[in-house]
Amino acid sequence: MTHVSSTPLASTPNTGAKLGARLSFRDLGLAQLLLDILEKLKLVDPTPIQAKAIPLALTGSDVIGIAQTGTGKTFAFGLPMLQRLAIHKGTGLVLVPTRELALQVEESLQKVGRSLSLRTAVIVGGASMGKQIQAIRSKPHVLVATPGRLNDHLQQKTVNLNDVQVLVLDEADHMLDMGFEPQIKKILAHVPKDRQTLLFSATMPPKIRAMTSAYMRSPAVVEAAPSGTSAEKVQQELYVVTKDEKTRLLEHVLGSHEGSVLVFSRTKHGAKKLTRHVGQMGHTAAEIHSNKSLVQRRAALDGFKSGKHRVLIATDIAARGIDVSDIALVVNYDLPTNPEDYVHRIGRTARAGKSGKAISFAERNQRRDVQIIERLIRKTLRPSVLPELPPARIPNPAPPERPERSPRAFYPRRDSSRGSGAPRTANRGTRSPLTRGRPQRNSQRFGRQPART
């Protein structure tokens, strides 16, 4: 592997910029048409990961990009891929771990690809297979897919990957954490070996290193920040609380901070319960987790983006799939099971150079979990003084008990076949046990019918 360390931006290979000069997209080797599109989108200065990865990717080399979320990784692989496809034709394939991230990546690529007459399609679970097959038949230039659903199409032979020229593995560490390694290997078996591979991730665990050795050709490694580094402009706080104090502390936090708030719960059941509690606190809230359909999740996310919902409660499915630039506060109501997810959670705020805040709740028996996170982010999270919490909310009163009713008198039901006075049970038990399961003729079920005249 060729390693390009976190040196100043001016030292990025092939930029043509002088030492100490401020880089623009014009210094990275992009085509003029792409530069005009970026100018219309009011994008002039590349982020660190874009400045380092784009020149290398434009040469056709395999690239490994290490950077935390919210640093512009989509355009770091998207711009070189779109330029190569516009010149050399072929197909680009982008693999991502979640549906939300797939939709976000496809939306970003569309902004540029539309002007280049390059079509995109999204292949994710929870959506109609029929509509996805129609999209595939239209021969899109870029496929953005989750590994599970793409494997479904491969098994049904509704998609062909023989023309893939550029393969992108976005958030590769998260895909492996979610157990997608077998699906990724099956997909790689259908992709041509003569291709360019771009891998982007926030961390570099051993499984990623093994994958790069097996499926990439002398990749160059570019780092905008060391693996596991948290966003610089995120102010991080930690509160040590009991389990019973969590909801009251959340009520205090929501009342003392302004702006939109993203709250992370460890479980789907916890997210649903927490959404109800936040609503009782007087805040508009929505939930997003894997029990929700794709339509429901998109509606919750759109409502959060538009301001309809001030609070979004999510499981780690949203840690890397939410691209909202104005999230003021991230609350780790539950610490993540995987320490790396802490970096991605707090990376939802302080995006695009803005500042933000992240508050984590830890129970007293989770000191070991906090220490693992501290080693990962190379920072010490000192517990803050617990504020005065609001009183515990009185649960909703139970509905009043129904008054005890007197037993109903028995009124035998009328049997139409025997007159008004006989109970319905009077004519039962006439059939043999051997014929009880067989259909009866009308004469057996309703009595003998009078002869027609």
Query: Residue ranges of the domains in the chain?
Result: 2-223, 234-377
Edge-to-edge, what's the strand order for the sheet holding 234-241? 234-241, 356-363, 327-332, 260-264, 311-314, 285-288
| 26 token code pair | 């014009």
Q: What is the largest CA-CA distance in the chain?
A: 112
| 131 token code pair | 């509509």
**Three-state secondary structure call for residue 176:** helix
Edge-to-edge, what's the strand order for the sheet holding 196-201? 2-4, 220-223, 63-66, 196-201, 164-170, 91-95, 142-145, 120-123
Instruction: Say how many C-beta atoms besides its own lie within 10 A of residue 175's C-beta.
Output: 25
Give pLDDT, residue 243.
92
CATH of 234-377, picked from 3.40.1190.20, 3.40.50.2000, 3.40.50.300, 1.20.1340.10, is 3.40.50.300
Q: What is the distance between the alpha carbons of residues 236 and 72, in angstroms, rounded to a whole number?
A: 22
Query: Do 2-223 and 234-377 fold alike per CATH?
Result: yes
Q: Give the class (CATH, top level) of 2-223.
A: alpha beta
Is 113 in contact with 105 (CB distance < 8 Å)? Answer: no
Give pLDDT, residue 6.
36
Burial of 126 (0-12, 13-18, 19+ CB in 10 A): middle
Give pLDDT, residue 436.
53
Residues 403-441: tens digit of each pLDDT:
555 555 444 555 544 454 545 544 455 555 555 555 555
- Residue whose structure tokens are 């008054």: 403
Given a cut of 70, the residues of the chain with pLDDT beneath it are: 1-22, 69-70, 225-232, 318-323, 352-353, 394-453
Residues 161-206: tens digit of each pLDDT:
999 999 999 989 888 888 899 999 999 999 999 999 999 987 788 8
Burial 234-272 (b: 16+ CB within 10 A, else e): bebebbbbeeebbbbbbbbbbeeeeebbbbbbeebebbe
Q: What is the pTM assigned to this prediction?
A: 0.69
Give pLDDT, residue 67.
81
Give pLDDT, residue 158.
96
